[in-house]
Structure 1
Amino acid sequence: MSTDGKLLRFAVGEEDSGGRVDKFLVQKNRDWSRMTVQSWIRGKRVLVDGRPVKNNYRLHVGERVEVQEPPPEEPNVEAESIPLDVVYEDSDVIVVNKSRGMMVHPAPGIYSGTMVNALLAHCHDLSGIGGVLRPGIVHRIDKDTSGLIMAAKNDVAHQSLAAQLKAHSVERVYVAVVNGNIPHDKGTVDAPIGRDTKNRKRMAVEHKNGKPAITHFEVMERFQRATMVQCRLETGRTHQIRVHMKYIGHPLVGDPVYSTNHRKFSIDGQALHAKVLGFFHPRTGERIRLETELPKDITRLVDRFRVQTG
């Protein structure tokens, strides 16, 4: 077995006995595809009790499965002169009002056109804690979510901002337009979120294996067939607002993943905007609170709902 990458070990229990090794490993880590696992097996990166096996090998109780993940590829991420809407900037922190459609950082197969590419050209210096693909990135918002996101220019600032996120002292307020009429003026969704067991590309409320997730919401305006809400995050799980709103029966308007009628609305992606961002400055300790206006596409959407409501 190769010695590079991360070594993981799994024990075969009674519930796993008789199952194929490739299916066993995909169940153990939802981020692995079956095709990827099978390529590792062919490359002898997977051993059962110290010996290589084939994809269709049937496991037995008590066996130990070892997986040697290959080292992650670190492509060179180039600086690109892409316009940024900078809301705040100093020698430690930069806050950008990200446009809808822009990815925050590169991902496999996409190494240009992201906010990181733009930041590298704009700032020159960014924190190295996030590695080559995520320099300066302390938190993320989805590609098709617009709004405020902060990045760190040095490691000290990055550590401070990350600690504030972990302590829930960062204020993050979003505005969303959801399907249907929410009957309550305000509420809290406290439901753990994890990888959807039926679709690994989506997230879902998973009471067994999910991580704690809390979203506070308050109705801002009601329309005939939609509601505009303000959502305040207490935690920051992937797709948290989108998953929680779907969970209570009110998926976001335009959401291509969690809403079944997203094509009915003239908006490219979910109607979600990170409107408020507040944090303590990592060097001075000063409380900084920033706020943006809703983007034009959400404003037009809301105006149409108002006209329809009469």
Structure 2
Amino acid sequence: MNRNKPNSSQTPDKVTYFEVNEPAELMSFLIEALPSRGRNAIKSILARGQVYVNDKAVTKYNHPLVPGQQVSIHYAKVTEPVKMIGVHILHEDDDLIVIQKDAGLLSISTDKENELTAYRQLIEHVRSTNPRNRIYIVHRLDRDTSGVMMFAKNEKTQQALQNSWQESVLERTYIALVEREVKKPEGTITSWLKENKAMVMYSSQRPEDGQLAITHYKVMQANRDFSLLEVNLETGRKNQIRVHMKDIGHPIVGDKKYGSKINTIGRLGLHARILAFEHPTTGKTLRFESKIPDKLLRPFQERKQ
């Protein structure tokens, strides 16, 4: 429809400008503005960071446009994607980023050392389109725990998630490889967690003596030497699963800090498999699930062979 077609102008430095006259999503706007280019070509232009809205790079196809804004396409400018190590982005929108973190990578540095972390890499990622962008911590995974976690992209989202964490998070499921066969097929562990001077968490059975921690588990596979558990957190305390597995006499494989005597898989046997939550802005339920690492399944595959 020609009456909706944006006015454009071409400048010598290979930048094309378009004025927004009606509310629209960015992708549909570009399809109409660039009739000679196919949908895939337009997606590539977006992904390379060549599309700007009011002089700010935008890569999301559903970015909302309002009358009076200016869209520009910088044909000579390509924003190379940041190459990340141990981090895979599962979802990103204007408010948050959901990632899968590999075992061995810190979520965020706890000291002043210039160590590679998920946080540092995501900072570089969001600043590739705008140097003023930031990342905010919502929760953490231990260095040697792999799996799904999320970060906020603004302080408002961070506060909304942290203030309503128990209500917003609908599911947090872990996979734990523990020592020896767990005889009881499922169970619930309840205690109050405290931290000693050596920064090691431990359980108290006295009510209110520490932070209440509730862990539910089900046995997925088991043999004489190992058990693979599905673990659901009702609360999210520091080292909660690691302490509770020690409490029932089945420490997580490779967890020397909490009583493990073996490390046949070369890593901590803990993986954050599922994270489901209510988006703090849209109210929609988002659910992310990652594959169980092969190393956690290996003790059962080797036994079958």
| TM-score normalised by structure 1 residue count | 0.65
Q: CA deviation at 1:245?
A: 0.6
What amino acid does structure 2 have at the position aligned with 1:296? D
SS state at 1:172 partner: strand
Please, which runs of 5 or more residues in structure 1 have no aligned partner?
1-79, 129-134
Which residue in the other structure is 1:102 paired with?
105
- Whether the 8 Å CA contact 2:253–2:260 is kept in 1: the answer is no
- The alignment partner of 1:298 has SS state of helix
What SS is found at the alignment partner of 1:261? Answer: coil
State which of 85, 88, 100 in structure 2 corresponds to 1:85.
88
Tell me the amino acid that sits aligned with residue 93 of structure 2.
D
* Ranges of 4+ aligned residues in structure 1 off by more than 4 Å: 125-128
1:289 alignment partner AA? R
The one of 284, 287, 296 equivalent to 1:286 is: 284
CA distance in 1, matches of 2:102, 2:301: 20
Deviation at 1:108, TM superposition (A): 1.5
Q: How has the CA–CA distance of structure 1 residues 195 and 306 changed in structure 2, closer, same or farther, with 3 Å as cutoff?
A: farther
| Mapping for residues 1-310 of structure 1, pairs under 5 Å | 82-83=84-85, 84-124=87-127, 135-167=135-167, 169-196=169-196, 200-207=198-205, 209-263=209-263, 265-268=264-267, 270-307=268-305
Measured in 1, the distance between the counterparts of 2:249 and 2:168 equals 27
CA distance in 2 between partners of 1:272 and 1:244 (Å): 13
> Does the 8 Å contact 1:82/1:113 carry over to 2?
no
Change (3 A) 1:200 1:300: same
Q: Any idea what SS the aligned residue of 2:169 has?
A: coil
Cα shift at 1:180: 1.3
Query: How much does 1:194 deviate?
Result: 0.9
- Specify the structure having the higher radius of gyration (Cα): 2
Q: CA deviation at 1:109?
A: 4.1
Question: How many percent identity over aligned positions?
Answer: 33
Root-mean-square deviation over aligned CA pairs: 2.1
Residues of 2 paired with 1:241 and 1:260: CA distance?
Answer: 13
Decide which structure has greater strand share.
2
* Aligned partner of residue 243 in structure 2, secondary structure: helix
* Residues 204 and 210, structure 2, Cα contact 8 Å, conserved in 1: yes
Q: For residues 162 and 267 of structure 1, what CA distance do their matches in structure 2 show?
A: 33
Which moved further from structure 2: 282-291 or 202-211?
A: 202-211
Indicate the residue corresponding to 1:10 in structure 2. none
Q: Please give the per-residue CA displacement for 1:170-214, whole angstroms capped at 9, x wherever unaligned.
A: 411000011111111111001111113xx6231110345321000
Q: CA deviation at 1:91?
A: 1.1
Name the count of aligned residue pairs: 218
User: Measured at CA, do residues 182 and 90 of structure 1 come closer, stay the same or move farther in structure 2, by a change above 3 Å?
Assistant: same
Aligned match of 1:36? none
What amino acid sits opposite 2:256 in the alignment? Answer: P
Amino acid at match of 1:101: G
Partner of 1:47: none
Indicate how the Cα distance of structure 1 residues 176 and 86 shifts in structure 2: closer, same or farther if over 3 A, else same: same
The Cα shift of 1:141 comes to 0.9
